[in-house]
Amino acid sequence: MVGQILGNRYELIEKIGGGGMALVYKAKCNLLNRYVAVKVLRPEFTSDEEFVKRFRIEAQAAASLSHPNIVSIYDVGQEDGMHYLVMELIDGITLKKYIAEKGRLNWREAVNIAIQICSALEHAHRNHIIHRDIKPHNILLTREGIAKVTDFGIARAVSSSTITMVGSTIGSVHYFSPEQARGGFTDEKSDLYSLGICLYEMVTGRLPFDGETPVAVALQHIQVEPKQPRDIQDDIPKGINDIIVTAMKKEQGQRYQSAAEMLQDLYRVLREPDGDFSAADSETYPTKRVMAINSENAVKGQGSTGRKDEYLIREDEKEPGEKKKRDKRTILLAAVTSLVLISLCVFLGYSFVVPSTKQEPDFTVGNYVGRNIDEVKEELKNAGIQVKETRKPDETVLKDFIISQRPEPGKTLKPGGYAAVELDVSDGPELLTMEDLSKIDYKIAEKRIQDMGLVPKVESEFSDTIGIDLVTRTVPAAKETVKPGSIVTIYKSKGPELKPTKVPDLVGSTSDEAKRLLADAKLKLGKIYPEDGKNYVDKIIDQDPKPQTEVMEDTAVNIYFESSDGQRKSVKTPINLVNPESYGDKIKVLVEFTPSDTKKTEQLVNKVISKEEFPIILTVPVPDKGKTDVTVYLDNVFYKSFPVQ
């Protein structure tokens, strides 16, 4: 679909994500000239009319939300059977990926993220929109650390991580509420339960419930109380623990009743991390037995004449015999209570003393190879067995999984004391970090890569900024990680890429003007005649190559100045071809000259010339009182020799 234009304005540039129900593309809005994200429903959903209808209605409702922590929805459309949603493009990563990268978050950072999510939910709930699928995958973090909630009202993903009941999606299995698991009524408090799980995962680095199948996880939401965060990470403040526990109550009525209420506690816990945030339960107001109100025990204002003594008997007006009976009952009750307390103390004392002398049963070592180290450590800790963990790189075993163990499975250990199981744990494949080899000689870079245990491969490329044979870049790049033995491509500079250019007309120019004209044409200055650099007028009378000749950039151009002392002059001499049919279209011309005053042979011309350019005119420097011998070679074969006076 890349390259396709939707709605005559959204040009799909690249795929940036996808899930069970849709694919997400980066796109450019050609109308407003900005980049957006376009979510396109998978084809299998487009035939479900009820789904498409809900998608459009709920997406339009979500589009009405305007909040800094909610991804803005710009447009909803349909084209050629495809249904798509256009929304704000976020430059960042999901909260799920952020947690995976950091392991777990500092509690203050986690609370700040939760505040932003809760603020977004409070805005949505106020507008009567329930998300129903709050999870770290649906929270985007910008580069500035701003949390953005996405996928409002359209979470109907059908995959192994979601459960659908009675034809409607109830959320992602690890994060949804007990009422969603039962297929019951969901409301704003369902979103707050899911937010509680997100906060749980942020501060502990793990999920409260997990299982082999989605149904197994769903049942835990309904039946199992999660391990409290502080039991996993003891540095989590009590206030954070209380907020998470309250948000994750099984019964909706025991949770936070609104996002605003939870938001208030999240702000407060930043100031009072160890404060008491536990929700009041039924024990705060215990059930009391109350006498039923009727015509015989009514009080004033409820059917009586208003006289208190009509219905209530004063203590001192009761019969003496009745008082004695009551005193006996009091004494008997006190004696029974004392006896119960003494029995309870004896029982508790026995319970604490006797088990201490009881011998713990031996522990049988299991097979832990291939299992996650955290899971095994928890299991052995509960059994009173110490763990000695050794980390080592491994190419075949996933990181944090056990490679080998000592003792072998089936051995017995005594719990407590010094009994221990030694576990070798994988740190994943051994990785090397690439050095920055740019701007050094490529041969030195080759040696360094070999010393790292990597295999160098050299390629060449043009560079306008880096000198010839110096390294322009490597693949993988600096600071990237690679496995030992991997191939590293070194790109060395060939210098700037040379292009054809035309020689400027330098005749009549001064030396400074010539240098400027040559630099503008990306050419360089060649030999200067007279060579002694003395006794000449700073005015060019000839040049080689000739003006408007097409040459490659960086070609040298020779220049000839007019002699000022009369010792040397320039004479123009034509060279004609004899038997031109014996030559090809291109002829290599080499002309050498030897002035009589210096007796030093120099090259006057050394280049390839088209046959059509003949006859060519040579400008030969001649001593004022002497001659210059000229020798011409065509295609590396002697052509003729003659003097010029």
Tell me how many domains the chain contains.
Answer: 5
In a domain, 254, yes or no: yes
* Chain centroid offset of residue 17 CA: 12
pLDDT level of residue 9 (50, 70, 90 thresholds): very high
pLDDT score, position 168: 40
**Same-domain status, 200 and 243:** yes
Give tens-digit pLDDT for 28-55: 999 888 999 999 888 887 887 777 776 7
pLDDT category at 281 given cuts 50, 70, 90 is very low
The answer on pLDDT for 172 being more than 90 is no
Q: Which of 461, 493, 525 is the last residue of a domain?
A: 493
- 19 and 35 in a single domain? The answer is yes
Give the C-alpha separation, 438 to 416, whole Å: 57
Residue 304 lies in a domain: no
Q: What pLDDT, on a 0 to 100 scale, did the predictor assign at position 331?
A: 66
Residues of the chain above pLDDT 70, percent: 81
- Shared-domain flag, residues 82 and 105: no
Tell me the per-residue pLDDT of 360-381, one tens digit each, with 9 for 90 and over: 678 899 999 989 999 999 999 8
Phi and psi at 20, nearest 5°, equal -70, -25
Do 500 and 550 contact (CB within 8 A), yes or no? yes
Residue 578: which CATH number?
2.60.40
Q: Are 505 and 542 in contact (CB under 8 A)?
A: no
Token couple for 252: 């909706």
Q: What is the predicted pLDDT for the residue at 157? A: 33
Q: Determine the distance from the C-alpha atom of residue 498 to the mean position of all C-alpha atoms in its chain, rounded to a whole number.
A: 40
Residue 5's pLDDT is 92
CATH number at residue 381: 3.30.10.20
Interior angle at CA 499, CA 497 and CA 504, nearest 5 = 135
Q: 3-state class of 97 per DSSP?
A: helix
Q: Using CB atoms within 10 A of its CB, is residue 353 exposed (0-12), middle (13-18) or buried (19+)? A: exposed
Q: Comparing 193 with 43, which gets the higher pLDDT?
A: 193
The mean pLDDT value for 581-604 works out to 90
Distances in Å between the Cα of 57 and the Cα atoms of 54, 61, 76 are 5, 6, 10
- Residue 167, pLDDT > 70, answer no
Q: Compute the average pLDDT of residues 319-346.
A: 59
| Bigger pLDDT: 624 vs 306 | 624
Mean pLDDT, to the nearest integer, of 553-563?
A: 84
Rounded alpha-carbon distances, angstroms, from residue 226 to 60, 243, 247: 37, 14, 12
Q: Same domain, yes or no, for 52 and 98?
A: no
Q: What is the CATH number of the domain that holds 55?
A: 3.30.200.20
CB 479 within 8 Å of CB 471? no
The reported pLDDT for the residue numbered 134 is 93
| Residue 498 in domain | no
- The two structure tokens encoding residue 498: 């040379």
8 Cβ partners below 8 Å, 6+ apart?
none
Q: What is the pLDDT of residue 171?
A: 52
72 with 142, same domain: the answer is no
Instruction: Indicate if 249 and 109 belong to the same structural domain.
Output: yes
Least Cα distance to 438 among 475, 479, 472 occurs for 472
State the chain's mean pLDDT as an integer.
Answer: 82
Q: Crossing angle, helix 188-204 and helix 238-247, to 10 degrees?
A: 140
Are 390 and 417 members of one domain? yes
Do the beta carbons of residue 573 and residue 640 sit within 8 Å?
Answer: no
Parallel/antiparallel/unpaired status of strands 420-426 and 402-406: antiparallel
The pLDDT of 601-625, averaged and rounded, is 87
pLDDT of residue 38: 93
**Helical spans, DSSP H, in 307-372:** 320-357
Reply yes or no on whether the pLDDT at 406 is more than 70: yes
pLDDT over threshold 50, residue 284: no
Where do the H-state alpha helices sit in 358-410?
373-382
User: Could you report the per-residue pLDDT of 479-507, keeping only the tens digit for each?
Assistant: 998 888 899 999 999 888 888 999 999 98
Domain boundary among 271, 286, 317: 271
Whether 405 is in a domain gets the answer yes
**Residue 282 resides in a domain:** no
The H helix count followed by the E strand count for the chain is 14, 32
Domain co-membership, 116 together with 265: yes
Query: For 73-113, what is each residue's pLDDT tens digit?
Result: 888 888 888 888 899 999 889 999 999 999 999 999 999 99
Q: Give yes or no for residue 313 having a pLDDT over 80.
A: no
Structure tokens belonging to residue 132: 């129903």
What pLDDT is stored for residue 337 in this prediction? 63
How far is residue 598's CA from residue 602's CA, in Å, rounded to a whole number? 10
Residues 228, 261 contacting (CB under 8 angstroms): no
Cα separations (Å) of 95 from 92, 129, 142, 214, 405? 10, 22, 10, 22, 35
pLDDT of residue 325: 53
Q: Would you say residue 331 lies in a domain?
A: no
What pLDDT was estimated at residue 349? 55
| Residues 106 and 185 placed together within one structural domain of the fold | yes
Residue 630 vs residue 335, higher pLDDT: 630
In a domain, 469, yes or no: yes
Per residue in 289-304, pLDDT (tens digit) is: 333 333 343 333 333 3
DSSP state of 254: G
> Which residue would you say has higher pLDDT here, 245 or 430?
245
Does a structural domain hold residue 535?
no
- Rounded to two decimals, the pTM is 0.45
Q: Could you tell me if 131 and 174 lie in one domain?
A: yes
Sort residue 167 into left (φ over 0), alpha (ψ -120 to 50) or beta.
Answer: left
User: Does residue 59 carry a pLDDT above 70?
Assistant: yes
In a shared domain, residues 407 and 450: no
Q: Is the pLDDT of residue 475 over 50?
A: yes
Burial class (CB in 10 A: 0-12, 13-18, 19+), 413: buried
> pLDDT tens digits for 121-165?
999 999 888 888 899 999 999 988 899 998 875 543 333 334 433
CATH of the domain at 135: 1.10.510.10
Which of helix, strand or coil describes residue 51?
A: helix
Tell which of 219, 249, 271 closes a domain: 271
Q: What pLDDT shows up at residue 424?
A: 94
Strand-strand pairing, 628-634 and 34-41 = unpaired
Q: 206 and 112 in one domain?
A: yes
Question: What's the start-to-end Cα distance of the chain, in Å?
Answer: 78
Residue with tokens 């609370």: 111
Write out the catalytic residue numbers. Answer: 133
Q: Which domain holds residue 391?
A: 364-426
pLDDT average, residue stretch 522-540: 76
